[in-house]
A and B are shown apart, each in its own frame.
Chain A
Amino acid sequence: MQLSNDTIQQKLTEKFGDQLTDWQEPYGMLTFTAPKDLNLKVLQFLFDDETLRFRFLTDLQAVHYPDSKGAELAVVYHLHNFTDNVRIRFKVFTSIDTPEVFSATALYQGANWMERETYDFFGINFIGHPNLKRVLNVDEMDYFPLRKEFPLEDQTRVDKDDEMFGR
């Protein structure tokens, strides 16, 4: 039987009650939000449950929402169930002052570099990660470049020397 989004939602709600919020289905992919101290429990449950079987971590990354105070950073997990071919996405929000989220490396080896990359660009501290160092940027870097407080150059700026740059 094909695993439907309703079944997944029902299963998860049975287990975690109303701690999981913000259920959506953008473009057909079930999306929800979990409290940040529950992220590993949710991952483990999705992995172990005999009907859910989400045993492949497709992707892990973060998003910065500077306007939502207290929950500025979101870590987004994309999981895939190969048997039933269903994907889901869930998010964990954390504040930018204490950006701490539990690491998924014990469950998925592949999360190792994905979390390092996320740390590298957003400064999210994955607790329990075996080797949380920068992976793409230089080690000496002291900021997290994909955060929104580092805007790219405004294409319409006028303070530049036009003669030199031809704008």
Chain B
Amino acid sequence: MNRELLKNILFYTIILALQLLIFNQFKLFGFITPFIYLIIFVHYKITYDKTILLILGFLIGLIIDLSMQTYGCHTFSTITICYLRGRIEKNSFGVNANLPSAMIKDTPLFSRISFFLSLIAIHSIIYYSLIFFNINLLSTIFLYAFINSIATFIIIWIISRLISNN
């Protein structure tokens, strides 16, 4: 258990460092910043406590907000996907929702893509809604959320493949 905990802490630290040091400086087309820290919530095992997941989401979101000066936009988006994660799992995996990991082998590819995309898209929509905070900019919010979700999804998918291969 302690070994697994250490492994997880190391994983979270590396992902956070990658986000803060590399991806936060990354501005594709001037606005695309992939939120690779979402991989932490994608790979959070379903057997772990959901309350811990919420608190973890809050802390990680707060760290990202402090580093990006977004005043709570990341935090709220993150705790929301942490809270909704159980329902998204059920929607994506159906009867196989009680699997120990989302990236487990033998789950249907479509279910995995649906799970990844749902988490990332919900996060992006909430994040950009809070960033713009203007109902008149709804089309801009969805455009940014869509492009950013695709970019984030591609990077997270690649990292997930690398992790599962190892």
Do A and B come from the same complex? no
Interface residues of B (CB under 8 A from A): none
